[in-house]
Amino acid sequence: MTETIGTEATTDHGRLAGKVAVITGAGSGIGKVAAELFAAEGAAVVCADVAASAVEVVAATITAAGGRAVAAATDVTDEAQVAAMVAAAVDNFGGLHAIFNSAGIFPADDGGLLDTPLATWDTVMAVNLKGLWLCCRAAVPAMLDSGGGSVVNVASFVALMGAATAQVAYTASKGGVLAFTRELAVEYGRQGIRANSICPGPIDTPLLAELMSDPARRQRRLVHIPMGRLGRPEEIARAALFLASDESSFVTGSSLVVDGGITAAYVTPE
């Protein structure tokens, strides 16, 4: 179900002026911040999330600030719902120029090789990898019809390095995101579509809050971050804004690492 909110409002300035963007996972965390940022930068935004009431609030907030938004209740693992999400962009705003695939899960029982349940592995792959593929498969034809566009996919720094605090399904899914995004970039590079990944480090979002509520587990992770803190959702949203905008017009097939220096470190400061 899609709810149109405030489509009469217009924003004629900003780095995404005249663009239409879809953002998944827009009900909270990075996706929510990105939806508000993209709208402030001139985009008409489809705010998509499996949590219908949450994205309705986000879209209403954007509208109240003078932006344009629709809320689309979307389970990214459902092909029909994903198609409806993209149709919401075309039907309400006339096209599609960017998609920021921020939706993802990290279940508490996603652990090591021998103790991660099969059902958890399947669920993580369904959301984090299959869901992203479905979103791109639906979005690319609309982008081609709109003259081109930018795909921005959320991967993770764990796709680039291993960890003794295992999260095997999540890590594997995010490695798949990197490979898939490179393939997409090459396949559509001469048709006006760019595709890039963002590899965030640990970000202070609800997804990480429960894990980091244990002081010992929190310190176990912070010690490996050269900057000594978690990232903020707006820091990832700004990276996504750059990749979605024409400022990155010659950037495709890349993985933008935004991790506070984790992947650059061997020994961190005391």
Does residue 266 carry a catalytic annotation? no
Identified catalytic residue from 100, 170, 180, 188: 170
What six digits make up the tokens of 237? 């949203």
Report the run of H or E that residue 220 belongs to, with start and end. Answer: helix 215-222
Give the pair of three-digit tokens for residue 7.
Answer: 């489509």
Q: For residue 202, what are its two tokens? A: 């640990």
DSSP state of 116: S
Secondary structure string (H, E, C) spanning 67-86: CEEEEEECCCCCHHHHHHHH
Cα–Cα distance measured from residue 222 to residue 224, given in angstroms and rounded to the nearest whole number: 5
Task: Give the residue from 214, 155, 201 showing the smallest Cα distance to 182.
Answer: 155
Q: Which residues form the catalytic set?
A: 170
